[in-house]
Amino acid sequence: MSSSSLPDREQYDPTFVHSRREAIVIFCSWVVALIWAVPYCYLNGYNVTDPENIKTVFGIPAWLFWGIAAPWIAANLFTTWFCFAYMKDDDLGENPDEPVEIEDSQEEADKQESDQ
Amino acid sequence: MNNSILFAAESSNAALWTFLIYMLAVFSLAAFSNKLLQGKNFLSEYFLGSRGLGVWAFALTFAATSASGGSFTGFPSKIYTHGWVLGLWIGSYIVVPICAMGLLGKRINQVARISSAITVPDILRDRFRSVSFGLIAVSLIVFFMSFNLVAQFKSGSLILKTLVLDVTVFQNASTTVSGWIGGVSFFEGVDAGYLICLLTFGVAVIIYTTYGGFHAVVWTDVMQGIVMVIGVLIMLPLALMLVAKDAPEGTGALQHATEQMVHMVPPEKGTATIQRGAEGDSSVVIRQGDWLTISAESTRLFRVTKEKEISASSASVAEVPVLEIMTPRDIQRVLNDETASIRSDLKIDVESLAMTAYMFGGEEDRNGNGKLDPGEDRNQNGELDHPQKGLYVTGPGPDPNQMNGFLPLSLAFSFFFMWAISGAGQPSSMVRLMAFKDTMTLRRSIFTVAIYYSMIYFPLVIIFCCARILLPGMENEPDRIMPAMAVFLTENVGLGWLAGLLVAAPFAAVMSTVDSFLLMISSSLVRDIYQRNIDPKVKEKTIKMLSYVFTLIVGVGAMLGAVNPPQFLQDIIVYTGSGLAAAFLGPMVFALYWPRSNASGSIGGMLAGFGAHLSMYCGGIVANGSFFQPYRLFNFDPIIVGLVTSFTATYVVTLLTEPPPADLVKKYFYKSQES
């Protein structure tokens, strides 16, 4: 693949561009969740010096409430925003419901194998 | 009789009726699905539902397939055994829906349409124009999923057995079958009741999956998904209501539960010699679940974990497995429970006790001889001399086998990877992502699954923390905590018939996973091996026949494998799930999002991920003496090692090898000429 034989990046398929951008945002949301939840729970819920007087919120240990339960609500709000405000409606292409042209792709694949 | 046995007997008929009505609904859906197959492209409809799934079907089939039996058997058992820390263990579920569906969803659906792919190997083969890549992917899917299927069949059969254990017809049938299989070497050591459940479960799943195909699987998943969430939503208020009964004025139910858990001490496991309490010449059966006491200044309470018998000629039986409850409040609760089966006709020989504490959270082995000697962990009054507080409400949680506790920091990180990232790498999830109708369906489905998981997973943590208060001593058979709790809750509020529906939830979860895996393996054989490599011009009639036959053969094969199933059920499920992610996620991400990716790099990444993950398990044989206790590099789970290796290998090998053909890149990454 030489760059000269391919069109400009501006010619990228918009569905590909949108889905890649959305995947990056999703991955970042996972990183944020990880960076918050695990260290917070570890720092506040492990090696507790006075467990008999452990703090609770709605009966749930406070370290778990603020580390997981509350972020769960925040994550659901983020998911709602992502699904209904950020994620684009894209054209996924035709539904290839017709019988698949196996012969062509078989020949293509065989050709590729022999080239390699 | 103890609570659970008593209640189970009373609600057994309700459970049986629930099961029969449930199966009737499943078969009706299969019959309707089969009608849909008429007049459509058979392969696309049978294995992919003609890419036409709407929001509810797509969301619930995705959620139900991902949930599997573990969510309703293994997970509750872990919550009960280790406490609140399971909230962190499952913590990444806050982003699982958006990760598992959103990371690949839109793009994999588009690429599958461009290449007319029906299966995951189809996508990889066509995206890279590589027959060998397709075959490697098929081999790995068949390898992992076959093992997983056997384990899931066993899991489903065990749950069904719990459901019908007290039904008279089932008990009579077990006796009859036991007579038939006695002396047949293939069935040696196989429990007749388990065999009946395996046949019932197996035949039902094979028939409806074979007959109805993908749509039958999806619709039954929808029904099963609804059953699961209803089960949890009924159990939650009931559990809180029963805990609140003992709570002091002004203290909330959950607050009371947590305060009780602060003082809980893990039980000890071991063996004891049990003697007759009085003279007698008839045999005495000591049932699993029976309670025995030793009266000192404070009463010590033991629970039998395996049935034994004192024969007519003996005064005692040695080496009876028992569990000792260490929390004073739990001991008092059992002693006050009129329905608890406390055996006053038997006594424990104190000198024979050989008990072992939890490795993390139990008493110390101060003699250093590997076990707790009598008196070692107690003061002169028979009380624990230095019980640890707060084990069940803080991390890392008590653990009978791990020195570092249940969830040390490194494993907490690993599980954040495990659920969210490896969930995206499951081929069974990828197939579902290929089947939704349009992007609006995807957007609404991610939202739906996020709400759905919120209604299931954290409530389960609350319910089974409450179970620690309500049903002490279930560590003797923790895998039964879900049905035991369902029966306990419903009977206590006078709704025994509801137990059948609640117990159907884990059964539904296993069924929805098994049917999907069954279809994945048969689609690999029919589409990826036969049609694409042996006879590309095969007629539709033959394809149809082969699809039915292969689904049937794979199902029967897995069922036969489960007659004498491997011992490590949950371990197999974990190994295959993480192994599939280690092999498939890296190559698939690069295939979808990196125009430069090529066949060599992706094959290299797939094999490297598979190999690195496998080597951690093989390393377990050397380091820990068992394949299923993997070597943990830097204390991380093998999934991390597998994923890092796979992503790195794909990237490096791709850069070191020839770029892909320009026309291939244009086909998958650029606007088409027409547009």
Cα dihedral B440, B446, B450, B452, rounded to 10, equals 80
Q: Encode pLDDT of B560-573 as tens digits.
A: 888 876 666 667 87
Q: Is the Cβ pair B106, A90 closer than 8 Å?
A: yes
Same-domain check for residues B381 and B404? no
Q: Using CB atoms, which residue from B98, B129, B592 is nearest to A108?
A: B129
Q: Is the Cβ pair A12, B662 closer than 8 Å?
A: no
Whether residue B492 lies inside any domain: the answer is yes
DSSP string covering B321-337: EEEEE--HHHHHHHHH-
What CATH number has the domain bearing residue B192?
Answer: 1.20.1730.10
Task: Say what the pLDDT of residue B545 is.
Answer: 85
B451 interfaces chain A, CB cutoff of 8 Å: yes
Task: Say what the pLDDT of residue B123 is.
Answer: 93
Same-domain check for residues B380 and B441? no
Instruction: Please count the other Cβ atoms lying within 10 Å of the Cβ belonging to residue A47.
Output: 10
CA separation for the pair B422, B639 (Å, rounded): 8
CA separation for the pair B220, B234 (Å, rounded): 21
Same-domain check for residues B383 and B289? yes
Q: For residue A94, what pLDDT band results from cuts at 50, 70 and 90?
A: confident
Q: Is the Cβ pair A37, B92 closer than 8 Å?
A: yes
Same-domain check for residues B26 and B149? yes
Question: Which residue on chain A is closest to B97 by alpha carbon?
Answer: A79
Q: Which residue has the tokens 């943990």?
A: B632
Q: Encode pLDDT of A61-86 as tens digits.
A: 999 999 999 999 999 999 999 999 99
Task: Say what the pLDDT of residue B18 is.
Answer: 73
A31 interfaces chain B, CB cutoff of 8 Å: no
Same-domain check for residues B236 and B276? no
Same-domain check for residues B207 and B298? no
With beta carbons under 8 A apart, name residues in chain A contacting B264: none
Same-domain check for residues B218 and B298? no
CA separation for the pair B71, B510 (Å, rounded): 9
B contact residues 501-540, partner A, Cβ 8 Å cutoff = 531-532, 536-537, 540
Whether residue B322 lies inside any domain: the answer is yes
With beta carbons under 8 A apart, name residues in chain B contacting A59: 252-258
Tokens representing B48 are 């992919």
Task: Say what the pLDDT of residue B587 is.
Answer: 96
Same-domain check for residues B202 and B296? no
In angstroms, the separation between the Cα of residue A23 and the nearest Cα of chain B is 5
Of B504, B535, B568, the domain-final residue: B568
B contact residues 459-488, partner A, Cβ 8 Å cutoff = 462
Tokens representing B578 are 């993480």
Same-domain check for residues B15 and B49? yes
Instruction: Please count the other Cβ atoms lying within 10 Å of the Cβ belonging to residue A50.
Output: 8
Contact B578, B643 (CB under 8 A): no
A43 interfaces chain B, CB cutoff of 8 Å: no
Question: Which residue on chain B is closest to A25 by alpha carbon?
Answer: B103
> Which portions of chain B are predicted below pLDDT 50?
1-10, 374-375, 675
Q: Encode pLDDT of B85-104 as tens digits.
A: 999 999 999 999 999 999 99
Q: Using CB atoms, which residue from B262, B438, B668 is nearest to A54?
A: B262
Contact B91, A37 (CB under 8 A): yes
Q: What share of chain A is helix, strand, coil (3-state, %, to 5)?
A: 70, 5, 25
Domain membership of residue B45 as a residue range: 3-241+399-568
Read off the pLDDT of each residue in A29-39 and give the average, rounded to a whole number: 96
Q: Is the Cβ pair B87, A69 closer than 8 Å?
A: yes
Same-domain check for residues B449 and B364? no
Q: Is the Cβ pair B116, A96 closer than 8 Å?
A: yes
Most B CBs within 10 A among A21, A63, A68, A104, hence the mutation to make, goes to A68
Q: Which amino acid is at B580?
A: L
Q: Using CB atoms, which residue from A15, A34, A60 is nearest to B106?
A: A15
With beta carbons under 8 A apart, name residues in chain B contacting A31: none
Whether residue B479 lies inside any domain: the answer is yes
Q: Is the Cβ pair B252, A58 closer than 8 Å?
A: yes
Whether residue B525 lies inside any domain: the answer is yes
What distance separates the 2 farthest-apart alpha carbons in chain A? 72
Same-domain check for residues B18 and B151? yes
- Has residue A9 got a pLDDT over 80? no
Q: Could you tell me which residues are beta bridge partners of residue B360?
A: B399
Give the count of Cβ contacts less than 8 A between chain A and B. 257
Based on the structure, what is the number of domains in chain B? Answer: 2
Task: Say what the pLDDT of residue A103 is.
Answer: 45
Of all residues in chain B, what percent carry a pLDDT higher than 70? 90
Task: Say what the pLDDT of residue B491 is.
Answer: 80
Q: For residue A113, what pLDDT band results from cuts at 50, 70 and 90?
A: low
Read off the pLDDT of each residue in A48-61 and give the average, rounded to a whole number: 93
Task: Say what the pLDDT of residue A104 is.
Answer: 47
